[in-house]
Structure 1
Amino acid sequence: MHPIEPRHPARPLLAKAAAATAIALAAFTFSTPAASAAPAAELTPEAVDAYMTDLHEASGVPGLSVVVTRGDAIVHAAGYGHDSDGDEITADSPFRVASVSKSFTAMAVMILAEEGAIALDEPVVDQLPGFDMADERVDQVTVRQLLNQTSGFSDTTIDVVELQDATSLEDYVARLADDALASDPGTDWEYANPNFNVAARLVEVASGQTFAAFMDERVFTPLGMEHSATRDEAVDPGLGYNNLFGLWMPRGGAVDGMLDDSGSGGIITSAADMGRWLITQNGEGAQLVSEAGLAAMHAPSAVHDYGMGWGVEPDGTLVHSGNLMTYNAVEWIDPESGYGIAVLTNGAGMADVTYTAMEALAAMANGEEPDEPKGDALAQIALAALTAAAIALGVVGVVRSRRWAGKRRGRPAWRVALRCIPVLLPAVLFLSYPALVSLISNGRTVTWPSVWYFALPLTLALLVAALAGTATAVARLIRLRSVGSAA
């Protein structure tokens, strides 16, 4: 999850909160020696392959792919593991890249802006028929503010759950009519997917094409991205996976909103295709916009270090990651050195291995030692142990409920009720779980369906603890009534 003021604004919110919780629990429960750092390595094809092979083995993630570029060349592109059909992952295997899609949508908008079909600094309402909100400030929202996420859009004032049922980008935009802004346009930054879905609809209106057709004709084809699309009817990535206590399970039914043609997270692509994308983003190879247009997309806004679909780092590098419940991805470029890195996976656990890989490979590109490849095994073990402990405590609580009731026979009801509160606290925590995670997520809305995906081990541990505590409380009350009747 994002911390209150995220350094990497596109890192998955629930994943970060869940991972932090799990790691904290793991650290409390188990103690292991720190792994020694890997020896220094150059960013050669052999070094990249060696690291990714080790990471794939250490994490256990089913499928993983990577591409490293420099200048106008691909240094290394490869796949590791398998997809949900059992086929070997290659550099051409398609993956959902989730919020990495935002930089693609920004490119589509910039292409049309340079052709005069979209005005970046003019109000969206003047350029997009059917777009309106229950907030008069919407008339001030510009296209650039959408792409910089400074429009005032927020999960706290937009019903993102309702938006998940949208059947098209046009329908999506129409559903915003009864929503409001959280701040004056251009004054604050907040990560919100509706920004880029409205932008994708604007692409449709300005171009006279569907978002899918525009992306294929004006972005994918010119760059030679042959395994990329905006919907799985064109390129099928198969099912993704979630990790439950070390067991990777194929899962369907991603729940993070509309996927088909979604400007915020609908792109499907491969490592090899991402290589072509990184090359053009670094100003090399085939170019879709002018040098000034590319620079504008890489520049932070006046209120936050986020550009048009890119997080701008203090060292000048740019990064964006994404999560769609069973898929993780990350892209990174260094305009100064000309390096580019993208990592994709079809498995989402408590730790984001794509971000781990990106950080390690970026360190190697700078001649630094990468951290030891690892996954989320410690967190998975800790949560499995806590789940087992909750089950055991629940059984003990039920078995000892007769003795507990006997000791409290004849006591005032209010004192008995107070004694039951501690065992009911896990149930209160579980029922508040999505709301609490949303509260610490910088305003992002976390729904019940979403917590059953990559946060599954944590969710299950909390559920079992809630059920164990509730069963203990019910058993105590039943026994207390039985003891009272007998008396």
Structure 2
Amino acid sequence: MDGGRTHRARTTGTARTTGATRTTRTTGTARTTDPPHLARPAAHPEERTTMSDTHRPELQQALQDIVDSGWAGAQLRVNDPRGEWTGSAGVAVPGSAERPPVDGHFRIGSNTKTFTATLVLLLVADGLLELDGPVAGHLPEYELDPRITLRMVLQHTSGLFNFTGEYYEDGTTAPGIAWEGQEWVDNLLRTYRPEELVRLALSRPARFEPGTDWSYSNTNYVLARLLVEKVTGRPFAEEMGRRILTPLGLTGTVVPEDSPEIPEPHAHATYAYQDADEWKTLDVTRSNPSWISAAGDMISTTRDLHVFISALMGGRILPAGLLDEMRTPHPKLNYGLGLFVQETEDGRTVYTHNGGMWGWGALMFSSPDGTTTFTASLTCGAARLDMMQVGALFAEAQKRLVAEVF
């Protein structure tokens, strides 16, 4: 996209049947009577037969419409009783003719929160943490409000100030760290320590008394990271790999810490922003995600996100009781423990946690049993769109894909 014009490009898709199996890098853990995360991974299936692209023209058209609405590129994976379909539309790099890879890596933003919450709940299953127990005792150095429980942290009811800034009902704001505009660009490779982010949040007034309201706060999930490291004695990335990524075979998923790199293959993401009266664009594919930490720093693929959310919803990661807790929403905005509970227009329940980073959008949706999922990545080009406009485009893309898949 250039100068606000919508870029048009071709859409490609690949569908696969359910009549045969396929080779894949990822696999779910088998159901056993032992804790689910200790179960042995299932054997890798063999390659499934590829169907003609024309078997899912509605998905191809949906992707094309999303690109035509203002995105530079998009990739989509759908798994349902009809089989698996993958496709892409638009371009991998603005100004080129190359399409986005159908299993390319991308920054998943706040989809990371579902991974983080799942890891924390595995520690609850092991007795290392208590869901309704206070977290202050585990992290005494932060002098947290003793009324804040782990459930409040995972459900955004702790009241902790959001270190990326607060937006209040009366229209006022309270700034946090730099995460947009020229100031963010100037700090594109800066490393933030999770302790730094939490201490910044704790230096600001709480939004409300613990447990009395709901407000989305990235601080909660950086605090969750610190809890994981404290009770396990291991780095967060190592524990995520040991308990979730390796057992599920998620070889395309990365906890990058402060590395700005993203594995190949991948599309490129462009950030268009206004500095005073001047519009600027920058390729932000390579950037340091430590400013968001365990609230949104992970990298994955549509395949890995499918395997993860399907295994999670299918009861192959968490014990049934904790999965029920995770999927019980707070009434204010239908947020459970690390995921949203939504209803489709025809009344079906779906579980999701989408994410965004400047230049990137990520979608992850599942039916309650994990048998129908779609996972997608969107990338921005050079169109002059502010945060509200990008958010509106993202919402429309989400609505279109939910309607087509569910």
Question: Shorter-chain TM-score category?
Answer: 0.5 to 0.7
Counterpart-to-counterpart distance in 1, 2:214 and 2:280:
36
Q: 1:48 to 1:108 in 2, by over 3 A?
A: farther
* Uncovered stretches (5+) of structure 1, i.e. residues with no partner: 1-21, 23-43, 367-487
One-letter code aligned to 1:154: F
Counterpart-to-counterpart distance in 2, 1:322 and 1:99:
4
Q: 1:266 to 1:341 in 2, by over 3 A?
A: same
- 1:161 aligned onto 2:177: yes
Query: 2:76 aligns to what SS in structure 1?
Result: strand
Number of equivalent positions: 316
- 1:107 aligned onto 2:105: no
Counterpart selection for 1:181 from 193, 199, 206 = 206
Answer whether contact 2:64 2:90 (CA < 8 A) is retained.
no
* Deviation of the 1:276 alpha carbon: 0.7
* Uncovered stretches (5+) of structure 2, i.e. residues with no partner: 5-53, 167-172, 185-189
Query: Which residue number corresponds to residue 251 of structure 1?
Result: 283
Q: 1:49 to 1:304 in 2, by over 3 A?
A: closer
* Deviation of the 1:364 alpha carbon: 2.5
Query: Which residue number corresponds to residue 192 of structure 1?
Result: 217
Counterpart-to-counterpart distance in 1, 2:143 and 2:336:
24
* Deviation of the 1:106 alpha carbon: 0.5
Query: Which residue number corresponds to residue 142 of structure 1?
Result: 149
* Deviation of the 1:83 alpha carbon: 3.4
**CA distances 1:286-319 after superposition (whole Å, capped 9, x unpaired):** x221122222111113655211122222543223
One-letter code aligned to 1:347: C
Q: 1:78 to 1:249 in 2, by over 3 A?
A: farther
Counterpart selection for 2:159 from 149, 152, 155 = 152
Q: 1:325 to 1:221 in 2, by over 3 A?
A: same
Answer whether contact 1:318 1:332 (CA < 8 A) is retained.
yes
- 1:296 aligned onto 2:325: yes
Counterpart-to-counterpart distance in 2, 1:104 and 1:98:
11
* Deviation of the 1:104 alpha carbon: 1.1
Q: As a proportion of its length, which structure holds more helix?
A: 1
* Deviation of the 1:263 alpha carbon: 1.4
Q: As a proportion of its length, which structure holds more strand?
A: 2
- 1:341 aligned onto 2:374: yes
- 1:55 aligned onto 2:65: yes
More deviation in 83-92 or 171-180?
83-92
Query: 2:255 aligns to what SS in structure 1?
Result: coil
Counterpart-to-counterpart distance in 1, 2:123 and 2:159:
23
Query: 1:364 aligns to what SS in structure 2?
Result: helix
Query: Which residue number corresponds to residue 13 of structure 2?
Result: none
Q: TM-score scaled to structure 1, two decimals?
A: 0.57
Query: Which residue number corresponds to residue 91 of structure 1?
Result: 102
Counterpart-to-counterpart distance in 2, 1:214 and 1:67:
28
- 1:76 aligned onto 2:116: no
Query: Which residue number corresponds to residue 216 of structure 1?
Result: 241
| Equivalent residue runs for 1:406-417 within 5 Å | none
Answer whether contact 2:218 2:292 (CA < 8 A) is retained.
no
* Deviation of the 1:227 alpha carbon: 1.1
* Deviation of the 1:223 alpha carbon: 1.7
**CA distances 1:124-143 after superposition (whole Å, capped 9, x unpaired):** 1112243225xxxx111011
Aligned Cα root-mean-square deviation (Å): 3.6
Q: 1:337 to 1:222 in 2, by over 3 A?
A: closer
Q: TM-score scaled to structure 2, two decimals?
A: 0.67
One-letter code aligned to 2:136: V
Query: Which residue number corresponds to residue 131 of structure 2?
Result: 120
| Equivalent residue runs for 1:441-452 within 5 Å | none
Query: Which residue number corresponds to residue 326 of structure 1?
Result: 359
Counterpart-to-counterpart distance in 2, 1:62 and 1:280:
31
| Equivalent residue runs for 1:383-402 within 5 Å | none
Q: 1:74 to 1:184 in 2, by over 3 A?
A: farther
One-letter code aligned to 1:141: I
TM superposition outliers: structure 1 runs of 4+ over 4 Å: 84-88, 156-159, 162-166, 247-250
More deviation in 302-311 or 90-99?
302-311
Answer whether contact 1:328 1:346 (CA < 8 A) is retained.
yes
More deviation in 290-299 or 353-362?
353-362
Larger radius of gyration: 1
Query: 1:259 aligns to what SS in structure 2?
Result: helix
One-letter code aligned to 1:281: L
- 1:283 aligned onto 2:299: no
